[in-house]
Structure 1
Amino acid sequence: MRIIHLLVIAALVFAAAYVYRIKMESTSRTERVLRLHAEIREQRDAIAGLRAEWARLDSPLRLQGLAERHLGLKPLTAAQYDSLKNLPERPPRFFKPGDPDPIGAMLETIDAAADASVVTGSVPAPEGRR
């Protein structure tokens, strides 16, 4: 009988130690969670402060005052606009009106030199290659 009593007492001591270890782990994890919540709260407060500062720095009145103070721009007047008849002449053409477009011809040459066996999803396959 004594051996059974000793085994039961040993099992109770082991169970108490195991329960104590679980309690300590849960306490430490709870403290860690509380610290993380506090850190998250601090970071959210910092973000809110930065957003408020950004809103202040980005305000149109502040930007207008800075532009007036540092850029020296003058207000736009109606006299700055001109009529279409005062536009400069069209630039000279470097090819005749009947000739093909030189840039288009270069692109066609590049397309012809490309590998014709490659078919992408945006280009339908030729009739014989389906």
Structure 2
Amino acid sequence: MLALIGAAVGVYRVKYESTLQAERIAKLRGEIRKEKEAIALLRAEWSQLSRPDRIQELASRHLALKSFELDRLDKLDKLPEKPKPPGDPIGDMIEEMDPLDITSSIPGAVQ
């Protein structure tokens, strides 16, 4: 009789815990569904707000921008040379070295 009562209590506990877990899962699925709907709504709103024609219209209305003219661009060859970094003793030594000294293991050796 005691074994039967113990088994009934065990089965009731398992059933109660599984019911709680099923309710928790259903609640989480509902929250996930709501979050997915919120994400879809935000994506739709973002695509509406980031339309190029809307941005162009807002820029024209609120910003005093001039149109870009291609003749204002300059060629790359007209740019000044990059200045040499000051105080680079190792770079200066490498530039002053004989190419044969750089490629051989013995300075002054001919290959």
Alpha-carbon distance in 1 for matches of 2:54, 2:20:
50
Aligned to 1:106: 88
Return 5+ residue gaps in structure 2 as ranges: 92-104, 106-111
Q: Residues 107 and 49 of structure 1: is their aligned pair in 2 closer, same or farther, counting only changes over 3 Å?
A: farther
The SS at the match of 1:103 is coil
Aligned to 1:75: 67
Moved more, 65-74 or 30-39: 65-74
> Percent identity among equivalent residues?
42
Return 5+ residue gaps in structure 1 as ranges: 1-8, 94-100, 110-126
Per-residue Cα deviation, 1:68-122 (whole angstroms, up to 9, x for no partner): 0011223345xx62697xxxx876x9xxxxxxx742752737xxxxxxxxxxxxx
- AA at the equivalent of 1:103: P
Structure 1 residues 27-106: aligned runs within 5 Å: 27-76=19-68, 81=71, 102-103=84-85, 106=88
Aligned to 2:8: 16
Alpha-carbon distance in 1 for matches of 2:61, 2:5:
80
- Structure 1 runs of 4+ aligned residues shifted over 4 Å read none
RMSD between superposed Cα atoms in Å: 3.1
- AA at the equivalent of 2:46: W
- Asked which structure has the greater CA Rg, the reply is 1
